[in-house]
Amino acid sequence: MKVAVLMGSASDKAKMAPAAEMLGQLGIEAVEEVMSAHRTPQVVSDFAASAREAGFAAIICGAGMAAHLAGAVAARTTLPVIGVPLSGSALSGVDSLYATVQMPKGFPVATVAIDGAANAALLAAEIIAVGDGEVAERLAAYRAGFAKR
């Protein structure tokens, strides 16, 4: 299984890097791509529509300001979509949070905290772990590490 880690702009890479890092720690392939719901809408649409056939289990979308990426992806796939609202705007990411969490009925986007890319990866791993015992074991081991801190 693999997880797509999408970002609306190349400048979002540093804020989204924890998602790919966490997925790697859990032995899940992360495929990072830059695509914009506004600048490259056809690329987003094509990617989302073919993601299941391409072997993706979930899609993580990080975007700032209007943060339409996660919603645009959710409109074109039935895979789980996890939105990461990103800071950096005049409203410090609150605008992105509202845009990401306020999806219309029928097109849900699971939403994590502002700049919460690592938690988005953990949520994707939990989704995968429902049907993959090895990922479930790696998640349990990761969580057990917190007791030792």
Domain extent listing, the chain:
2-147
What length does the chain have?
Answer: 149
pTM reported for the whole predicted model: 0.96
Sign of CA dihedral 33, 88, 108, 73: negative
Q: What is the DSSP letter of 10?
A: G
The dihedral over CA atoms of 10, 12, 15, 19, expressed in degrees to the nearest 10, equals -70
| pLDDT confidence of residue 149 | 63
What pLDDT does 57 receive? 98
Q: Are 57 and 1 in contact (CB under 8 A)?
A: yes
Instruction: Give the 3-state secondary structure percentages of the chain, helix then strand then coil, rounded to 5.
Output: 45, 20, 35
Lookup result for tokens 């899609």 = 59
pLDDT at 89: 85
Using DSSP's 3-state secondary structure scheme, residue 114 falls into: coil
Decide if pLDDT at 1 tops 90.
no
Q: Which amino acid is at 108?
A: P
Residues 55-77: tens digit of each pLDDT: 999 999 999 988 999 999 999 99
Mean pLDDT of 101-107: 94
In CATH terms, the fold of domain 2-147 is: Rossmann fold (3.40.50)
